[in-house]
């Protein structure tokens, strides 16, 4: 188990350094990450990155950060995240989407299945938007602070090195 935590910590540090080292203004990177986090909350699994990059172009945010931000939802946690968003969406949308059994899947009319899928998508999208907005706002402010702190520390280390070199000469 310790090895798993070590790998997760290493991956987290790699992701953090990858983001803060992007050569762009801190506000642009933070906005890109926030747009990516928001897009990652949408249930359009194969389109999340396309949505994030498109929003980044519209809002003039960093495209790479937007693409990276979508990865907080990934194939390993979809089975947990999207049912939670569905439950959140059900709070605001009345009605129930009845689960489809294998027998119904084979025998039900095609358009009935499409209607059930559309209802699920609508409810889950609403839940994703409701959860995604506060997550995106939180991501913006936290990442902006982390990026600025990293860059300030980097500038201070660079100044210290320059002072040491000047004093040597």
Which residue's structure tokens are 């949505």?
51
Rounded mean pLDDT, 142-165: 89
Which residue's structure tokens are 């100044």?
159
Number of H helices, E strands in the chain: 7, 0
pLDDT at 169 exceeding the cut of 70: no
Rounded mean pLDDT, 89-108: 74
- Closest Cα partner for 138 from 30, 41, 22, 12? 30
pLDDT per residue as tens digits for the range 61-90: 999 999 989 988 888 888 888 889 988 888
Q: Which among 18-32, 91-105, 128-142 has the top mean pLDDT?
A: 128-142
Task: Tell me how far apart the alpha carbons of residues 161 and 159 are, in angstroms, rounded to a whole number.
Answer: 5
The per-residue pLDDT for 3 is 82
The per-residue pLDDT for 134 is 96
pLDDT at 51 exceeding the cut of 80: yes
DSSP code string of 75-132: TTTHHHHHHHHHHHHHHHS-S--PPPPHHHHHHS-HHHHHHHHHHHHHHHHHHHHHHH
The per-residue pLDDT for 98 is 66
Annotated domain spans of the chain: 2-168
Rounded mean pLDDT, 123-132: 92
Q: Which two tokens stand for residue 19?
A: 């983001």
Rounded mean pLDDT, 102-119: 75
């Amino acid at each position: 188990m310790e090895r798993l935590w070590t790998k997760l910590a290493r991956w987290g540090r790699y992701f953090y350094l990858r983001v803060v080292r992007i050569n762009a203004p801190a506000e642009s990177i933070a906005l890109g990450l926030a747009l990516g986090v928001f897009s990652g909350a949408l249930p359009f699994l194969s389109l999340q990155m396309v949505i994030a990059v498109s929003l980044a172009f519209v809002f003039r945010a960093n495209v790479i950060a937007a693409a990276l931000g979508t990865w907080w939802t990934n194939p390993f946690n979809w089975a947990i995240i999207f049912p939670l968003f569905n439950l959140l969406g059900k709070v605001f949308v009345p009605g129930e989407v009845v689960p489809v059994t294998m027998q119904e899947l084979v025998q039900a009319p095609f358009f009935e299945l499409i209607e059930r899928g559309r209802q699920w998508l609508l409810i889950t999208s609403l839940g994703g938007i409701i959860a995604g907005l506060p997550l995106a706002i939180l991501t913006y402010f936290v990442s902006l602070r982390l990026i600025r702190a990293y860059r300030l520390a980097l500038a201070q280390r660079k100044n210290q090195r320059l002072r040491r070199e000047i004093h040597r000469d």
